[in-house]
Each structure stands twice: as structure tokens, then as C-alpha cells.
Structure 1
Amino acid sequence: MKAMKDNAAPREVHGNTFDEVIDQARRRLLQGAGGAAFLGFFASPAALARSLDEPVAASSSLLAAFPRSIPTHSDDRVTVMDGYVVRAILPWGDPLIDFSAYWRPDASSSAEEQARQIGDNHDGMHFFPFGPNGFEQGLLALNHEYTNYEYLFGKEYTEPWTREKAMKAINAHGVSIVHLQRDARSLWRPVIPSRYNRRITGDTPIELTGPVAGHALLRTSADPSGTRVRGTLNNCANGFTPWGTYLTCEENFHNYFGGGSSDPLHQRYGIGKDGGYRWFEVIERFDLRREPNEPNRFGWVVEIDPFDPQSTPKKRTALGRFKHENAAVTLAPDGRVVVYMGDDERFEYLYRFVSHGRYDPANPAANRDLLDAGDLYVARFTADPAADGTRLRGQWILLDKARNPLLAADARLPTQADVLIHARLAGDIVGATRMDRPEWVAIHPVSGEVYVTLTNNDKRKPGEVDAANPRAENRWGQILRWQEAGGDPSADEFAWDLFVLAGNPLAYPKGDPRAGSAAITPENMFNSPDGLGFDAAGRLWILTDGNYSNTGAYQGMGNNQMLVADPNVGLIRRFLVGPSGCEITGLTWSNDGRTMFVNVQHPGEAEGHPRAPRIPPGQDLATFLAAHPTVFSEWPHSQFHELGGGRPRAATLVIEHANGEPVFAAR
């Protein structure tokens, strides 16, 4: 539901946030490299010039196993680089707990059955092996972000609208914990039944922990304690901890509430308009008129123990409330836990959490609540050159009511708990840098350098550009990277630059920022980088969720894709192209590096695709697809016939080298 994904919200703009940045950018405009083309794209000239003009190596030892980019296409199939094989497993609706809740091609499964099946629209995930030498089996923790009603409900679609339908949608959200094992042919398959298999849905009991737990704004009539919430929703990307737990991140939670709200603090998150899911019409807790605090119980990072199916998931409120994309975890030299997080909406912020406690590898039980106490920061990127002249500077601004004078003086956030509940407003007040949709964050396994995808922002105007977000009407996105001072992720200052600006060199001439930076060529061009991950060798994997119209600014780009990059030399190659209407997302590896798992989300979203069906006058596309669910796509069944069809289904790809070599360097 891309229309829901970019819901712009009212915001406060700090008066001095960009003035200095823009002034410096104007004074240091690029010379040459397109001249007039840059007049509408005030940026950090140093960073942008390097990105556009730096030479890119022609070869890379890191990419020796990935010799050349594959072509784009707009077909309804997955293609991968020569020498690799791909399968699909775990499609939406397949049985998970037992075989009684089987896939029904006509989408007639009940809400209760959906709660025992694989959820819909797979997103972030992580593979947890059974021990360091667990090469043959493990647990896959798998997010389910949202669902497409035109495929979820079948021909009857949404009318009449009932509580049963709403509950089916709720149970299609959340997380699946799946026990995977290699079979006699060395193929990964789910183990059913297994004591480990588990669905955590939009209705599962979850504990609220940390400094916000019990706050008045989290109390409802069903939970007067403000410590117990039902469900986790819009589970986008993920993280994992050194102590073996899974982090699932709640993103666009505003979509699920309706009934109206004039509260400006709700509106700052896009809450107030009737949510497109219509749950509020039949379930009281999603009706803002009856339960105005229920939205405050969503927008958190949730910690799950995948190996204990009886454990209660915990929403860790110390990490702040916003539209979380993922949670990238690392350790400071002194053992404190550091978590980097992006808020996926146009003009939103990058955050960092630093725990008060220290990780103790010798005492796993002592680590379980490390995410309940710590400091939350928000990023400011400036155009000041770094000391070595090659990078720019930035700083982390503490979001603490007692220790930040700007927050201390603002009566709208009376306590630290209010700061965490309304982290966006806190970022406004302290003057954080408004980013082009910060999504996944990934940490280099050797250098500790941190990368973030800034997916796109076509609403940014020429007067709003800044060093980190250098293009107006940014339709293609960029990847930014930084290194903390002294290599310490808990340091308050960092140096940064732009790793790559995505763009279209077929549509725009070289030197025009819309063509992308020097690393972008017709052979590897892409738009809207979203998912991001490093393997243990230090290769950067880039997954896209962008425009697949294949026309205009996006001509030649085809369906969404996955690329692999060598961050040392800037070389990028296209490794995979997905089926029609999908997003490529989620990334993890088996413990031996033989297998890469990648998700295909929402195959069959036809709007804007060059192969979209023509619909009769007076019908909308969703209603037409509900009545004709295979007219546009029947992936994965159309490509992998052993998987049931009847309509498009999200699924997990299993990718391996054709000769079985461990080439992916597992983390």
C-alpha cells in the first residue's frame, strides 16, 4: 500500500535548522560538473562533487563472485545472476503451526486459520542457527508488514465489512518464527509441527517496558495499567541482539486508527484521518473517539526471544516512538549497546540509542533488559568539512528532558516519557536534520562505518535541500554513511559523506544530479534504495522499493531489484530482479554462508506497472483484482509450481550458488 507508506504529517520546523547549511552550500557551489544544473540542487558541494565525479574502480576482489550486472525487466518472475539458483519458500498463507490451516487459493481462510499460517507481506528477517555450527537447521524470524485486501479477502473483498475480516487482517500482520531444516536433498524446508514455530500477530499479548511503561498516555480502558498491549503492527524491518533476541520494528502504525482526532501530537504522526484498514469501524480499540491513547502503544521496537515460544514479547520504549524502519545493533568499546534507527517518512530523522548498562557475554540472562534504560539521540548533519578535509561533520543531539535545555524549556513535553512518546516533536525542537525518508541502517562488520538508505523525497523543494539531502524533488534516493569519532559508536560526533546517489543516466545527462553519482551506470541504475545489509566479507547489499513504471524518470529501471556493492571502491552490480509489482526486502544468511534468504513483498501490486490490467469503466483497480486475482500476477506459483496459487503471495527466496559453495559470507 504505497499510498499509505508516504503519509506526510504536520510538523514543527526549527527556525535555524538549515540556514547555516544552505548558506555554506551557496558559498561553496560546485564549479563545473554540470554548472547550471546544480542551481536548483543546493547541496554540500564537497560531498556531492565527490559522489558525482569520483572515479569508480572497474573491478573488485569483493565482487569476484558477482562478475556482471544482470539486466532489468518488467516480467512476473525472479531472475538472479548467472551461476546462482533460486527457490521460493514460506509463501503467505502456508501452514505454520499445523497442517489443518492449509492454503486456500480462493482466500476463504478464516481469521483463526490466518493466525496459524504464515503472515502476509514479508519484510525484515533474521536467521538464528542452532548453535555456532548449526549449518543444517535454525529459526527464521520473519516480519509481516501489512496486507493487500484485494487478495486477502477474495471476490467478496470488503463488503460487507465485518469484525471477522478485520481480525483476519490483524492476524496477517506481525511476525512468524519458523523452524527451518535442510532435507535429504539439502533444500531448506519448514519443520511442521515444531515447538519453535510461532505466530505473533496484531492481537498477541505484548508487554510495554522501560521508561514509558505505565504512563498515562499509554493507559486504555482495556489496560488501565498502561503496561500490556495487544499486538504488534506494521512490522517493517528488524534487528538482532548479541544475546540472541530478535527486534521487530513498528512502522506505519497510523494507518490502523480512525474516527477522527484533532490532537496535534497525534497529527504529527499522521493519526486522525480514518485508517484505510477500517478496523476502527468494528473493533473499539482502533476507534480514536473511544480509545485516544491506543495509538501511543504502537510505533515501538519489539524484542522477541525466538527460542522461547512461551516468552512474552516486549516493546522497548527507551528506544523512542516513531515509524521505525529497522534497528541496527552494535557495541561500544566499553560494552554499552548502541542501536541506530531511521524514521521512515519524508523529512523525518535518524536516531541512536546508547544503553546505560553493558553487555556481558558471560552472563546472557543479565543482558535481557539492556534496552530498557539508556539515552536517545537524534542526528544533525552539517556542511562543515571534517578535519581531514574528506568528509563532513555531524553530531548526535541528546533527547533528554533534564539535560537538554531546549527540551527542558518546552512545556509540551513535561517528562522524559513524553519526550520518548513524541520523539518526532523532540527532534523538531532540538533542530535535527530532516532527511529523505531514512530507512534501513547497516553497520560494516569490520570498520564499524554506518550506512543508511535515504529512499526518496519528491516533496523536497529547492530551498529545502541540505548537505545530506542534496536534491530537490528527489525521486531516486541516496545512501549516506558515517563514522563515529574514534570509531566509538557512543561518541557524540561523526564524519560523514554520500556513498551513492541513485539516479537515471538514461534519462538525464552525465553531471546532472538526477543521473546519479559516478557509480551509477545504465548497467546498474536503480531508484529508491530501501533494504540494506552487510555480509561478513564487507559487501553491501542494496534492496529497492521504488517506482517500477519503467517510464520517464524511471525508464529502463524495470521491477524492483537487489544489488551488491563494494564500499571500498564504489562498484555496484545488479544481482537480482523481482516479479511484477513487488518490493525486494529482508535479508539474512545461513550460518555457513551457503544460503541467502531474501523476501518478495506484495507481488501483484499493479498500480503504475506497465503490465497493469485495463479495468472496466466505473471500477477501481483493487475491486477488479479482487474479482480477477490472477489477471496481473500469480507469483510465486507461476514460477515455482509446487507453491499453491490462486492469487499473488509474498514469499521468501532461497538463493545459493549453483555448485553449493559458501559465497555469501554469513554474518
Structure 2
Amino acid sequence: MDDALPPTTPPRHGSRDFRDVLTARTSRRNIVLGATIAAAHLALAPGAAALARPAGRRLRAAFRPVPASAADRVVVPAGHRTAVLAPWGAPLLPDGPRWRPDGGGSAADQARQIGSHHSGLRYLPLAGGAGGDRHGMLVIHHESVDPVLLHHREPGGGRAVTAARVAKGLAAQGVTAIEVRRGRDGTWHPVGSPRDARLTGTTPVVFSGPLATGHPALESTAEPVGTLSNSGHGATPWGTHLVCEENANGWFGTDDPRWRPTATERRYGLGALDHGHGWHRADPRFDLARSPGEPHRFGWIVEVDPLALDGRTPVKRTALGRFNHSAAAVGETGDGRVTVHSGDDQDGGYLYRFVGDRPWRRERAGGRSPLDHGVLQVARFDEDGTGRWLPLVHGRATLTAAYGWRDQADVVLRAREAADALGATRMDRPQQIVVDPRTGEVFAALANSAGGFGGDAGSRDANPYGHIIRMHDDPDGGTGLRWDVFVLGGDPAHDPSVRLGPSSAFGSPKGLHLDPAGVLWISTGVSPHSQHLAERGHENLGNNALLAADPATGEIRRFLTAPRGAEVTGVSSTPDGRTLFVNIQHPGSATAAWGAPTPTDPQAVSSWPDHRPDGRPRSATITVRRDDGGVVGG
């Protein structure tokens, strides 16, 4: 989503900013800070243990990087081709409601169509061996809506708030699952399967863990609950799928002049003005004064069955904590306990990890969810390249009744405040995280930061370009970790500490995907308010992009560029690596460089992917394949 969301400001409580840690670490080598953060990817501090890395390899030689672009189309290297597979508004099933280029259609129509603002993305093979390379399920997450583009061209232009428009906005979010197959000509198509299904903002869900269904903190004026602002994803070893709820706080507001936010509401970014959506004026569940418990029902990780999306009730797993989940990277400890890494997408947000109590197979055999029983932790980074996972457990450290913590349900509900109390390390907008099962390396994308996080104003530089860190956790599930910076984003023309060239420079890394060959795909989400602007240091970076990185050598090349106003979000691959699925999110959104869509001119910024005179831009999942059918990028 757009970077220009109001930040929430964590109190100090002894916490350190990651930039402080990084500065102290690199100062031993007399590395001078640039306009963003120190170039810690050049070397570790003296005495720090280097992270174990596999033997070096190079990216596939035939892949020539594409230049930065301002074009209103998807650009890929020569010898590759793209096709639109699953655009917003396409009917879920062959007999479903058709896409209306004029923005018409009801909430009921949208609930039977592919949702908007494509974000998380996962391909699941539906057959073994080569069959899984050409037949599978796509699970697509939908993060938000653009009211101007969502609704019909009429007076008010989608900006007037009505119950019908709120309902359509709820129907456009959630999750889409569609069965797809590759034809003999290499083109992928939806099958039109009984497995095809939608989750939306009104789908019935249940809660488990410390805050189970029926807990007083979850009381609200509305049922069913649904799921909103769905961003990153995860895959469990027992076959389920994890859905992240990210910036759901932006849908809430109030016009009640008597309402005053509590400390917890402020900490979770809740305010009377919401983020400009105004849903509270048409639906009381989004009115903070009338439904104070409703925000507590969002900001969780939701477990679903991807092959029976509308056949089994989704479960919000509250033991994983409540915050703006940007990822749900699942791994295992050496003794078979499940781990889930996640980040809190806010300026100064934390990195979290959940570790199961017992091996997940034993939990499942005993009829218990491995995601309901374990310890939620938050990361503290130290300047010697090590760190520690701090347990967010009621009764430990300062998380006691004497300090105002009632029980474990209170801890996970107010996970941000619990992390504040333990002095965790504030990060630069944590985004997606991946765990390499071959090496145990954990990569975490950090999008950017305005700096300061509310304290010592002006004492730290901003980080407008972001970076990616690499970590190793203790293999036995212990609390230790080691870390370094894999790559510092940015433009060397504005920051001499950046070690990227014209074919690899990027900003605001948000998405990460490890393909079957071990290539790390980096997707970017520079704000439309910064793209192409010299005054923001982005004139050389072009549209948002997808880059391929070699985790062993650090080599990076730009592979794909997106249309105007769009972000590149979710990426997934077939097992043979011959098809890459890529999500293009919100093309045509309001930009500083090209203007903004209006009810009478929805294509003011972009007309992708349809490019029809009477249409409007729309998010979509695309496929990328080589012309000769070989491995993508080869």
C-alpha cells in the first residue's frame, strides 16, 4: 500500500533504533554515514561472527537486466514474455458477474469476482512431479481499495460514503483462490473449479489462542468478523495457508467529538480521522466511539485451508500477536517445532518470531494447533552482529500485573506495547520475510523510514530507500540470533554509501521470494508520492521493479518494471522455475509525477492492463515465461 500513512510513534522505554545499532557497529571501521544509513553490507564489525553462506554462484548468464522505466506497461528482459492471468474484477467462475470497465457492479458482484489491490501470492501445485508445474492453485491476497477506481462514475465519484460502497469495499478485500492450468502453448488460464473461492471482509471467522472467540476484548456491534488489509502470506508444513492482516487500523474513525483515544488506540494508529476512507459514517462497526472492540478483531494472522477456502472456517491465531503483520514466514527448529517470523509494518515497527512449544507433528497428533501453543518473541539487535529474541510472556520481565498486564491475552492484544516495555529494536518499516530452508538464513525487507521515531528529532538521518537484513537464528529454537545487512537500497547519486549500479539500484524493498533455484526475488513499493521526483531522490529509480539477487554473491539485477503508479508485490514460482507469477498492485494510483485518477478520468495515470478508452486501471496477477519455455531468468 501507499507509504504515506500516518506513522504511529512508539514511546522510548529504553528501546533502540536499528540505525543506532548499525551506526555503533560500523563506526569501528570508520564508515561514514551517508544520507540514509551506514553501508554495513560492506563488512562486519571486528570480532563479530560472520554468517554462514553457501558457496558462491552467479545469476543465470542469459538474463540481461532491464533499465529503469517510466512506461505504462510491464517491461521484462528480451526472450521473456508476460500475460495477464487474474485481474481485479474478473469473474471467479465462468458464470459469475462480468468485469464492468465503468466501475459499476454491486458488493454481491464483487464478492464473486477477483478482489483488488493484489498483494501476497502463492502457487500450490495440484499434482506431483511435472504435473505440478502446469496445474495448481493460486492464492491471492487483496490489501486495500481505491474508492475513485472501485465505484461507478457518478456524482461524488466514489468519494461519497454509503453503506453500499462500504460493502463493496469489504467485498474487494480478503483472499482469492483460483485453480489454474498451463496450456500446450505455455499460456496459463483459470480452470473454473469448485475449489475457486473468496474470503472477504464479511466472511465468518473464529479466534483461537489466548484471545479465543467469546473473549470480552473481541466484543463488537457486528458479525461476522471477516478479514481486511490482507498482505503477506505463509505456508505451514501441515498444508494450511497463513493470511496477514496489515494496515486494518486505517478503516476506523469517528465523528463523535467526545471520543478520546486510549494509549493503546494511539499506539495502534487509531484516530478520529481514519485514513480518509470515512467508513465509520456508513457502518457503525468502523466507528471507534460506537464499536471500540472492533479494531481488536483485526491485525492478526489468519489460518485457512487453501484447497477449501469457503468450506472450512478461517481461524485468527492470536498467539502470534496483534500488529500490522507484513509477513508470516514459517520454518522449523531442529527438533521440529514450528517458527513464524513476522514484521510490524510501521515506522519504528518491530520484528517478531513465534516458536511452538512442542514438535508440530506431536501437536497435530494430539488434536492441538501448533500455532496456538508457543512463545511470541520480539527482536533486539546488538552492535556486535548478534541479537536476542525477547519473550513476550505474561509474568516475565516487566510484563506483570504490577506493571498493568492482566494476562497473556492482554500481552498479545497489545503486542506493540509489550515490545516497547522490553526494549526491542525499532526498525524501518518491516515488510516481507523469507526463510531459506537450505541454509536457515532469514531475510527481512525494511521498506524505509522518516527517521527519529518521535524521539531526539534530527539526531538520526532518514532512510528513504530501505534495506534488507539477513539473520541466522539458533537452530535449536534458542533465543540467540546473528545478523548483517544484505543490501542497502538507494541511488548512489544521492547516497555514496550505496553500492548499486544503474541496473540494480532500487528503493523501498517490500516483497521477497526465494525461487526453487535459490534466487531471491526483491519487489519494490516506492510510494507514488516519491516516484521519479528529484527532490525526493528518486528520479533515477523509475517505476517500481522486481529484481533478482544471488544470496551467496550479493549480485542483483533488475528483471521487471511495473506500470505507472503500481507496486510490485507478491511473487511465486512453479516448482520447475519455468513460470513466475507476479502481482502488480494499484496501477494508476494517485502520484506526484503524473497526477491522480478522477471519476471522469480514471486513466489519468495509467490504463494498464486493458488499455481501453472506456476502462480503468486494475491490479492483476501476471505470468512471466521464457519464449523458449526455459527457466525464467535463464
What TM-score, normalized by structure 1, do the two folds share? 0.86
Aligned to 1:103, which of 99, 103, 106? Answer: 99
Change (3 A) 1:645 1:301: farther
What is the correspondence of 1:83-482 to structure 2 with a 5 Å cutoff? 83-133=79-129, 134-156=132-154, 157-158=157-158, 160-192=160-192, 194-213=193-212, 214-222=214-222, 229-259=224-254, 260-275=259-274, 276-308=276-308, 309-360=310-361, 369-384=369-384, 392-402=385-395, 404-408=396-400, 411-460=403-452, 472-482=461-471
User: For 2:41 and 2:623, how far apart are their aligned partners in 1?
Assistant: 42
Change (3 A) 1:366 1:149: farther
Deviation at residue 498 of structure 1 after TM alignment: 0.6
The 3-state SS of whatever aligns with 1:324 is coil
Q: Tell me if structure 1 keeps the 8 A contact 2:285–2:291.
A: yes
Change (3 A) 1:564 1:45: closer
Deviation at residue 483 of structure 1 after TM alignment: 0.8
Q: Tell me the alpha carbon deviations over residues 102-143 of structure 1, each in whole angstroms, 9 at most, x when there is no partner.
A: 001111111110010000010001111113332332111100
Q: Tell me if structure 2 keeps the 8 A contact 1:132–1:591.
A: no
Deviation at residue 168 of structure 1 after TM alignment: 0.5
Aligned to 1:491, which of 478, 487, 491? Answer: 478
Q: Tell me the alpha carbon deviations over residues 356-382 of structure 1, each in whole angstroms, 9 at most, x when there is no partner.
A: 232329x97768721111100000001
Percent sequence identity is 39
1:571 aligns to what? 555
Q: Tell me if structure 1 keeps the 8 A contact 2:147–2:159.
A: no
1:226 aligns to what? none
User: For 2:338 and 2:483, how far apart are their aligned partners in 1?
Assistant: 22
Change (3 A) 1:400 1:181: same
Letter in 2 for 1:522: P
Q: Tell me if structure 1 keeps the 8 A contact 2:331–2:437.
A: no
2:629 aligns to what? 660
Q: Tell me if structure 2 keeps the 8 A contact 1:462–1:472.
A: no
Deviation at residue 449 of structure 1 after TM alignment: 0.6
The 3-state SS of whatever aligns with 1:154 is coil
Deviation at residue 471 of structure 1 after TM alignment: 6.8
Deviation at residue 197 of structure 1 after TM alignment: 0.7
1:387 aligns to what? none
Deviation at residue 290 of structure 1 after TM alignment: 1.4
Letter in 2 for 1:74: A
User: For 1:421 and 1:399, how far apart are their aligned partners in 2?
Assistant: 11
Aligned Cα root-mean-square deviation (Å):
2.9
User: For 1:605 and 1:99, how far apart are their aligned partners in 2?
Assistant: 30
Change (3 A) 1:23 1:111: closer
User: For 2:72 and 2:489, how far apart are their aligned partners in 1?
Assistant: 24
Q: Tell me if structure 2 keeps the 8 A contact 1:154–1:627.
A: no
Residue 494 of structure 2 is aligned to residue 521 of structure 1: no
Deviation at residue 65 of structure 1 after TM alignment: 4.4
The 3-state SS of whatever aligns with 1:79 is coil
Letter in 2 for 1:335: G
Aligned to 1:634, which of 589, 602, 607? Answer: 607
Change (3 A) 1:654 1:28: closer
1:502 aligns to what? 489
The 3-state SS of whatever aligns with 2:265 is helix
Q: Tell me the alpha carbon deviations over residues 210-235 of structure 1, each in whole angstroms, 9 at most, x when there is no partner.
A: 11113221122446xxxxx5210000
Letter in 2 for 1:476: Y
Deviation at residue 502 of structure 1 after TM alignment: 0.8
User: For 1:540 and 1:45, how far apart are their aligned partners in 2?
Assistant: 16
Q: Tell me if structure 2 keeps the 8 A contact 1:436–1:455.
A: yes
Instruction: Out of 23-32 and 351-360, give the one that drifted further.
Output: 23-32
Q: Tell me the alpha carbon deviations over residues 499-552 of structure 1, each in whole angstroms, 9 at most, x when there is no partner.
A: 1111211334xxx33xx1x3x112210110110111122211100001422524
Q: Tell me the alpha carbon deviations over residues 319-362 of structure 1, each in whole angstroms, 9 at most, x when there is no partner.
A: 0000000100011111100000000100010000011232329x
User: For 1:570 and 1:425, how far apart are their aligned partners in 2?
Assistant: 36
User: For 2:285 and 2:633, how far apart are their aligned partners in 1?
Assistant: 45
2:618 aligns to what? 649
Letter in 2 for 1:405: A
Letter in 2 for 1:393: T
1:616 aligns to what? none
The 3-state SS of whatever aligns with 1:231 is coil
Deviation at residue 406 of structure 1 after TM alignment: 1.4
Q: Tell me if structure 2 keeps the 8 A contact 1:400–1:407.
A: yes
What is the number of residues matched between the two proteins? 612
Change (3 A) 1:429 1:182: same
User: For 2:365 and 2:118, how far apart are their aligned partners in 1?
Assistant: 30
User: For 1:288 and 1:533, how far apart are their aligned partners in 2?
Assistant: 37
Letter in 1 for 2:341: Y
Letter in 1 for 2:253: G
User: For 2:605 and 2:41, how far apart are their aligned partners in 1?
Assistant: 45
User: For 2:38 and 2:68, how far apart are their aligned partners in 1?
Assistant: 32
Q: Tell me if structure 1 keeps the 8 A contact 2:145–2:173.
A: yes
Tell me, which stretches of 5 or more residues in structure 2 are unaligned? Answer: none
Deviation at residue 186 of structure 1 after TM alignment: 3.4
Aligned to 2:534, which of 541, 551, 554? Answer: 551
Change (3 A) 1:412 1:143: same
User: For 2:605 and 2:22, how far apart are their aligned partners in 1?
Assistant: 50
1:64 aligns to what? 60
Q: Tell me if structure 2 keeps the 8 A contact 1:535–1:664.
A: no
Change (3 A) 1:652 1:365: farther
User: For 1:279 and 1:653, how far apart are their aligned partners in 2?
Assistant: 31
1:618 aligns to what? none
User: For 2:521 and 2:25, how far apart are their aligned partners in 1?
Assistant: 36
